[in-house]
Amino acid sequence: MASIEVIFIRHAEASSSWGDHHDPGLSDTGIAQSKKLINRPELKQLDDYSFISSPKLRAVETARPLAKKFKKELIIENIFTEIPSPNIEPENKQEWLKNILQMNKNDLPENIAKWKDNIISKTKALSQDSVVFTHFMVINALLSELNSKTKLLYFYPDYTSIVKITIEDGEFINFSIDKDKKTFINL
């Protein structure tokens, strides 16, 4: 039975909120947060890991210092991008997301349910230890599924927080959460 470890890292603080900019980079604070990842004890042995990122700039910029340290090419994977919100006006995104978070997963819009299912399938299909730089809702979609929760929201991952998931023969075995803080979420 071969097991792999997948480390999910939430992106650092963005320079603009989700409702104000479709793809913001990191703020000055976010840049500092991403640089601190290279000194995290739980991220010291990543030589044999693949490095994967959401295509969103805030995730890619968060990955850069750690990828540089380990001389890794960053694989861009659209599956791990932020929750899709097509045709939602920027000024309505926060309210829209609050409504999504309150829905039972069985009642989610088809595109959101497919997004969630694709994340789970892709994660289970990973064939080597990996680090994935991603978003608040991606991490929640995974952990709510692992815990058989009825809603997408499982917890409030802080910026650059780490979630480790062990997968064995294509099935989730366990997970650990680094930082579980109810923080201001830069929507």
Tell me which of 14-18, 92-96, 101-105 is least confident. Answer: 14-18
pTM of the model: 0.92
Per the domain annotation, does 183 fall within a domain? no
Check residue 175 and give its pLDDT: 87
Per the domain annotation, does 22 fall within a domain? yes
Q: Give the number of other CB atoms < 10 A from CB of residue 98.
A: 11
Task: Give the span between the Cα atoms of 77 and 79, in whole angstroms.
Answer: 6
Name the residue range of residue 68's domain.
3-177
Per the domain annotation, does 135 fall within a domain? yes
Per the domain annotation, does 11 fall within a domain? yes
184: confidence class by pLDDT, cuts 50, 70, 90: very low
CATH of the domain at 122: 3.40.50.1240
Per the structure, how many domains does the chain have? Answer: 1
21: confidence class by pLDDT, cuts 50, 70, 90: low
Per the domain annotation, does 184 fall within a domain? no
Measured in degrees and rounded to the nearest 5, phi and psi for residue 22 equal -75, -20
